[in-house]
A = this chain, B = another copy of it.
Amino acid sequence: MNRLKSSQKPPSAAFESEPCPMPDIAKLIGGKWKLIILQILIFKGMKRFNELRRMIDGVTQTMLTKQLRALEADGLVKRKIYPEVPPRVEYTATKRAHDLQDMFMAMHDWWVAGQEEK
């Protein structure tokens, strides 16, 4: 079944010539929690710190902070601090992160399709 003979897909011009630094991309979204953080912020909108904490099963304060800081440094997450007491911090996905929607959709569809085949 399924022997690839010559071409399973047409040109796919994108990858033919360029080096396309996948390692760099992996750096951005490679963390254990980054994908799920981004997914939440992109598709569900702004969240506060403890909201995220509750939504992500198994994450600790420490790791959530670290990954959020890394995402912020990479320009994917915007952190807005309200100088109140008790403190309030809101996290939102940047425009750059929102542009990842298509990728997330493709990723999601792929995963779902894989589950159905079982």
Which A residues fall within an 8 A CB radius of B? 2, 4, 8-9, 12, 14-16, 20-26, 30, 32-33, 35-36, 39, 43-46, 92-96, 98-114, 117
Contact = CB atoms under 8 A, between A and B. Distances in A.
Given A15-B43, A22-B39, A26-B35, 20 more contacts: A4-B92, A9-B98, A9-B101, A12-B101, A14-B43, A15-B44, A15-B104, A20-B108, A22-B107, A23-B33, A23-B35, A25-B35, A25-B107, A30-B30, A96-B117, A99-B113, A100-B106, A100-B110, A102-B109, A103-B106
The oligomer's copy count stands at 2
Nearest to A57: B19
A8 B39 CA distance: 14
